[in-house]
Every structure is written in structure tokens, then in C-alpha cells.
Amino acid sequence: MLNKYARAFFTRVLTPFAALLIRLGVSPDAVTLTGTAGVCAGALVFYPRGEFFWGTVVITLFVFSDLVDGNMARQLGRSSRWGAFLDSTLDRVADGAIFGGLTLWYAGRGDDNVLCAVTIFCLASGQVVSYTKARGESIGLPVNVNGLVERAERLVISLVACGFSGLHEFGVPHIDILLPIALWIVAVGSAVTLVQRVVTVRREAAEADAGERTVPQGGEAR
């Protein structure tokens, strides 16, 4: 849902900014690299220290590069396989940094082994959810399924919860409970999404294999 509606909205909003960067001679790849570096810095510098509000502010400023670089490529007419590969690869790096930063917090000053394990699961399951789609498509399957919690949902739920939980530093009572709740939601949602994709790939693979074994009357095997 977020991929369909929110992405379209922010793409329209960020189009003038993308056009400005093009006029300044900035390349889409440079935006991709800068955005990923900013997200990683925000997550790995602030989150392990428990500074969730400021870390989320920094991450949010850079996370929109994921929309800006694609917008620039379309305006330039330079959409390419390399750009898509770079963007997708660095998305995984950024996601790993966000949940890695939270893992470091719970393994350190946050001192909560259960939430540390949940956060590790969020990190790993997010990567595997992405892999299942990429692997399915690489063997010629459409992987035609809308998962319950995909990347956009994982980021929005996690970052919103982190940002609001960070208000605890400014004296807002009990709001820090939002982050553990969000991590459990992301963990369960990612597990459901993984099952959805695996089931879909299994069904599509079975249909494709059955089609290949079909022998039309008077014809050769397809």
C-alpha cells in the first residue's frame, strides 16, 4: 500500500528538487551513494547511543534519496540496469545499518537481550524477504504478491517509532514503549511476508513446471 500510494505522492513532491540537482550537474548515482552514506551515519552514530530522535531526523533527511535518484534518472532518460542494481543493493545496506544500530543499542546500553534478538530477526528477515523476490524473478517467475510488511512498511513503522521514542529524552513519559512494540510488529509482519512470498514462488514454480511438461497433441513438448 505504501509502495503504491506514498511513493507516488513523494515522487511528485520531490520532482522539482530532482530537477534542481540535474541543473547543478549532480548524477543519480551520486545521490544514491550520498543518501546511503547519510542513512548509515545517522543509524550507526546515533542509535547505538540511544539518541533515537536525532538519529531518525538525520535518516529521514537522507532516506528520500531513494525516490530522488530514480526521479532524476527518469528525467534524464537514463534509467539503466546498473542504476537499478546499485539502488537495490544500497537499499539493503541502509536497512542493515538501521537495524544494526538498534541491535547495538539493545546489546549495549539498552541491555535487553530479547529485543536485541527481535531486532536481529528484523534485520535478517528484511534481507531474506528482498532476496526471495529477487531470486524468484531470476528464475523467471513473476513473484506476483503484495506482502504484508515490505520495505516501505518496515522503514515507516521503525523510523516513526524510533523518532517518537526519542522524545523520551525530552521528558515525554512512557513514549519509549513505542519502539519495542514497533519492532515486534515488524518482526511478525516480516515473517508473514516471507511465508507469503515463499508460498507464491512455490505455486508459480509448480505452474511453470507443469506448463513445460505439457505436450500438445501432435506437437512437441514445451
From the annotation, which residues make up the binding site? 29-32, 66, 69-70, 74, 80, 87, 91
Residue 220 class from Cβ within 10 Å (0-12 exposed, 13-18 middle, 19+ buried)?
exposed
Does residue 154 contact residue 187 with C-beta atoms inside 8 Å?
no
Binding-site residue ranges for Mg(2+) = 66, 69, 87, 91
Q: How far is CA 205 from CA 10, 55, 127, 191, in A?
A: 35, 42, 22, 21
Binding-site residue ranges for a CDP-1,2-diacyl-sn-glycerol = 29-32, 70, 74, 80
Q: Is 209 a catalytic residue?
A: no
Q: Which residues of 71-90 are buried (b: 16+ CB within 10 A; e: fewer)?
A: bbbeeeeeeeeebeebbeeb
Instruction: Write out the catalytic residue numbers.
Output: 91
